[in-house]
C-alpha cells in the first residue's frame, strides 16, 4: 500500500463508509475521528486521513490536522491493538518528516492498558511540552436513574435546576437553521461579553454544518433552552460510541437571572439515560488549576454535577526536524513577547 493510498486529503464514498463502520465498532472513541468532523470545527486547518488496510479492510486509521508545518492527531490512531497503533504512529512520523514538517503531536484516545503500552513503546522518543495540562475530562456513569444521579449533584446545582423549572424554562432539540443562527448569535455575544477568543471565525457557518452533520449521521444533539418560545441558550453534544459529549454551551447575556446551562445539562443527562448511553462526558477538566484562573470556575461548575476525572495519556511531541523546530520555537517566543 503506497503513500498516496495511505494519506488522503479527500475521501471516496467507499472509503468514508468503511471508516464510519470501523469507527462504530468502538464503544470508547472520540468524535474527532469521525470523517468530516475536524473539517467543520477547524476550518483554518488542513485535514489529512491516514488509512491502513489489510485485504481491503481498514485495520487502523486516524484524522490528522495540519497547521504551520505541525501535524496533530487528536485521540488516535484508532485500531484494535497497541501494536497496530505504534506501527501507525511510526508510519505517520516517517511521512511527515519526509514532507518537511517540524513536529507531530499525538494525543492518544486510549486510557486503558493499550495507551500505556503505546507510551512505553515510544519512551525516550518523544518530548512533553512545558505546559503541564494534558487532557483530562469529567464524566458521569449513567448506570442509575436520573433521580438517583440528581441526588448526587451539589445543593447549589439542585436549587438552580429547580429555579429554572420554576421559571417554566424548557429544553428541546433545535429544529431549524433559523434557530441555529439565533444560537450562534447567543454564542458570539457571550464570548464577546466574556472577552474570550473563538477557535473559528464564523460561528453560524460552523454551527450550521454541525446541525446538518448531526441530522445526516445521527451523531449528536443540538439542544435549545427556551423561555417560552424564546431561545435563551443551548448545548451542542456529539455522540461518540457509548458516550454523550458536552462540546459547546451558550447562554444569553440578557437572561443571567435564569440558570440556563444547569437545566440544559440536567435534561441532556436525562436524555442520555433514556436513550441508553453509558457515560455523559463534560468535555474537559483541569485539575490543580489556580483559583484566580477562569477555568477554575468552569471546573467547579462541572464538578458539582458529580462524576469522576478521567486522565488521558500524556501528549507525545515528536520533533521531526530538531534544528528547524528550535528556530521556529524561538521565533514564536519572540513574536509572543513583542505582540502579547
C-alpha cell at 110: 486510549
Q: Do 157 and 234 belong to one domain?
A: yes
Domain residues for 210?
Answer: 140-273
C-alpha closest to that of 231 among 222, 239, 240, 220: 222
Domains in the chain, number: 2
Q: Do 105 and 148 belong to one domain?
A: no
Q: Do 117 and 169 belong to one domain?
A: no
Q: Is residue 307 part of a domain?
A: no
pLDDT of residue 85: 96
pLDDT of residue 32: 96
Tell me which long-range contacts 259-263 makes (C-beta under 8 A, separation of at least 24). 259/160, 259/161, 259/163, 259/164, 260/164, 260/169, 260/225, 260/232, 260/233, 261/225, 261/233, 261/235, 261/301, 262/157, 262/160, 262/161, 262/164, 263/160, 263/161, 263/164, 263/165, 263/169, 263/171, 263/225
C-alpha closest to that of 128 among 100, 160, 148, 103: 103
Q: Is residue 67 part of a domain?
A: yes
Task: List per-residue pLDDT tens for the chain, 340 residues long.
Answer: 555 579 999 999 989 999 999 999 999 999 999 999 999 999 889 999 999 999 889 999 999 999 989 999 999 999 999 999 999 999 999 999 999 999 999 999 988 889 999 999 999 999 887 555 678 899 999 999 999 999 999 999 999 999 999 999 999 999 999 999 999 999 999 999 988 888 888 999 999 999 999 999 999 999 999 999 999 999 999 999 999 999 999 999 999 999 999 999 999 999 999 999 999 999 888 877 777 777 788 889 999 999 899 988 889 999 999 898 888 778 776 655 565 5
pLDDT of residue 131: 56
Q: Is residue 60 part of a domain?
A: yes
**Chain-centre distance for alpha carbon 79:** 19
Q: Is residue 282 part of a domain?
A: no
Q: Do 110 and 15 belong to one domain?
A: yes
Q: Do 159 and 260 belong to one domain?
A: yes
C-alpha closest to that of 45 among 62, 67, 64, 63: 67
CA contacts within 13 A on the Cβ side of 246: 27
Q: Do 128 and 145 belong to one domain?
A: no
Q: Do 124 and 144 belong to one domain?
A: no
Q: Is residue 303 part of a domain?
A: no
Q: What is the pTM of this model?
A: 0.91
Q: Do 24 and 92 belong to one domain?
A: yes
pLDDT of residue 181: 97
Amino acid at each position: 500500500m503506497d503513500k498516496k493510498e495511505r494519506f488522503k486529503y479527500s475521501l471516496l464514498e467507499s472509503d468514508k463508509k468503511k471508516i464510519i463502520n470501523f469507527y462504530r465498532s468502538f464503544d470508547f472513541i472520540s468524535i474527532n475521528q469521525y470523517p468530516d468532523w475536524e473539517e467543520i470545527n477547524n476550518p483554518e486547518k488542513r485535514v489529512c486521513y491516514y488509512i491502513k488496510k489489510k485485504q481491503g479492510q481498514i485495520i487502523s486509521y486516524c484524522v490528522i490536522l495540519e497547521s504551520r508545518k505541525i501535524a496533530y492527531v487528536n485521540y488516535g490512531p484508532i485500531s484494535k491493538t497497541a501494536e497496530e497503533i505504534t506501527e501507525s504512529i511510526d508510519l505517520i512520523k516517517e511521512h511527515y518528516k519526509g514532507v518537511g514538517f517540524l513536529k507531530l503531536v499525538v494525543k492518544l484516545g486510549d486510557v486503558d492498558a493499550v495507551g500505556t503500552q503505546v507510551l512505553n513503546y515510544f519512551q525516550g522518543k518523544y518530548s512533553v511540552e512545558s505546559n503541564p495540562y494534558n487532557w483530562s475530562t469529567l464524566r458521569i456513569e449513567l448506570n442509575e436513574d436520573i433521580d438517583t444521579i440528581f441526588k448526587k449533584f451539589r445543593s447549589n446545582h439542585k436549587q438552580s435546576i429547580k429555579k429554572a423549572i420554576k421559571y417554566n424554562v424548557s429544553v428541546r432539540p433545535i429544529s431549524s437553521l433559523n434557530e441555529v443562527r439565533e444560537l450562534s448569535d447567543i454564542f458570539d455575544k457571550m464570548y464577546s461579553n466574556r472577552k474570550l477568543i473563538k477557535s473559528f471565525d464564523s460561528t453560524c457557518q460552523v454551527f450550521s454544518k454541525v446541525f446538518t452533520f448531526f441530522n445526516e449521521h445521527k451523531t449528536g444533539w443540538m439542544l435549545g433552552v427556551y423561555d417560552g418560545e424564546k431561545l435563551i441558550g443551548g448545548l451542542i453534544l456529539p455522540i461518540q460510541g457509548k458516550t454523550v459529549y458536552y462540546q459547546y454551551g451558550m447562554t444569553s447575556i440578557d437572561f443571567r437571572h435564569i440558570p440556563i446551562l444547569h437545566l440544559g445539562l440536567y435534561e441532556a443527562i436525562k436524555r442520555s439515560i433514556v436513550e441508553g448511553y453509558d457515560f455523559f462526558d463534560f468535555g474537559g477538566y483541569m485539575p490543580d488549576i489556580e483559583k484566580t484562573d477562569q477555568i477554575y470556575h468552569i471546573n467547579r461548575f462541572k464538578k458539582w454535577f458529580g462524576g469522576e476525572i478521567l486522565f488521558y495519556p500524556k501528549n507525545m511531541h515528536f520533533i521531526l526536524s530538531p534544528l528547524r523546530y528550535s528556530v521556529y520555537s524561538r521565533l514564536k517566543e519572540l513574536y509572543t513577547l513583542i505582540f502579547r
